Amino acid sequence: MAAVRALLPRVRAVLRPPARGPALRAFASGANFEYIITEKKGKNGSVGLIRLNRPKVLNALCNGLIEEMNQALEAFEKDPTVGAIVLTGGDKAFAAGADIKEMKNQTLQDCYSSNFLSHWDRLTQVKKPVIAAVNGYALGGGCELAMMCDIIYAGEKAQFAQPEILIGTIPGAGGTQRLTRAVGKSLAMEMVLTGDRLSAQDAKQAGLVSKIFPVETLVEEAIQCAEKIASNSKIIVAIAKESVNAAFEMTLTEGNKLEKKLFYSTFATDDQKEGMTAFVEKRKANFKDQ
């Protein structure tokens, strides 16, 4: 019981009203980002949209772009009106990978001393659900970024690949790990060793993406899914996300144990009482994120 109670403050901390730090101030004043565009979407502004925006280089993921994306993620994480986030790119490219021109002269020492690519992981620490809406190329770091998200929706012309082998390196932002967990060893190994691309249809069949849509409606569909998620209790959504993600880190026994504790913890929330009472009273639940 004590362990269950101990979990709640962690979840609540994320959902607390924003401390007005620099990232949030920048966002609230309509920050002029160089490499991304951010907007609030959905009927009540409940969806945070981040659009990668370096079209001339197919959204190659330079350091500045990742830093801006992290800033936007933090602002949406702290914004109490946002319940879910959509990450997208352009019609031709979600992202064609880490910026090869930026990294080509780096030495081993540079990589080690700067912890190269470690700040990409910020995306995996966001408590609110993130949906990747992938049109066009999701290559190398682009594919890895999509796989850090919680749900991947693909446009029908999307292409996924880990082509690092073709430029003399290997995936460095989780590609060998997350792709293998998503599609199994044989296909992941083939993709990583050949650099071959997976079509949206093959990616869906392999379990990498959950749904495919026409190019022009993809982002709207992702926003609608995010809006649906955002209409649920934020605290329960965060708990559910934590529990599903634990499946990638734990044994089945450990994962089931954690799930049970998290399930019990929902009974300490007002929203569980409201949700079940609303069901019994045959009305729509009015969640307060408490």
Q: Figure out which of the listed residues 139, 237, 238, 240 binds ligand CAA, where binding follows CB under 6 A.
A: 139
Binding span for ligand CAA by CB under 6 A among 5-13, 41-49, 92-100, 271-279: 92-100
Is-catalytic flag, 102? Answer: no
State yes or no: residue 136 binds ligand CAA (CB under 6 A).
no
Is-catalytic flag, 141? Answer: yes
Q: Least Å distance between CB 65 and ligand CAA?
A: 11
Q: Least Å distance between CB 185 and ligand CAA?
A: 19
- Residues 47-86 binding ligand CAA (CB under 6 A) are 57-58, 60
Is-catalytic flag, 190? Answer: no
CB 157 within 8 A of CB 175: no
Q: Figure out which of the listed residues 48, 97, 129, 155 binds ligand CAA, where binding follows CB under 6 A.
A: 97
| Residue 192 CA, distance from chain mean position | 22
Is-catalytic flag, 164? Answer: yes
Long-range own/partner contacts, residues 145-148 (CB < 8 A, 24 or more apart): 145/61, 145/87, 145/94, 145/95, 145/120, 145/173, 146/87, 146/94, 147/174, 147/175, 147/178, 147/179, 147/182, 147/208, 148/120, 148/121, 148/123, 148/124, 148/173, 148/174, 148/178
Q: Figure out which of the listed residues 171, 183, 213, 232 binds ligand CAA, where binding follows CB under 6 A.
A: 171
Q: Least Å distance between CB 57 and ligand CAA?
A: 4
What is the DSSP track for 3-47? HHHHHHHHHHHHHSPPP--HHHHHHHTT---SSEEEEEESTTS-E
| Interface positions with ligand CAA (CB under 6 A) | 57-58, 60, 96-101, 117, 137, 139-141, 144, 163-164, 167, 171-173, 175
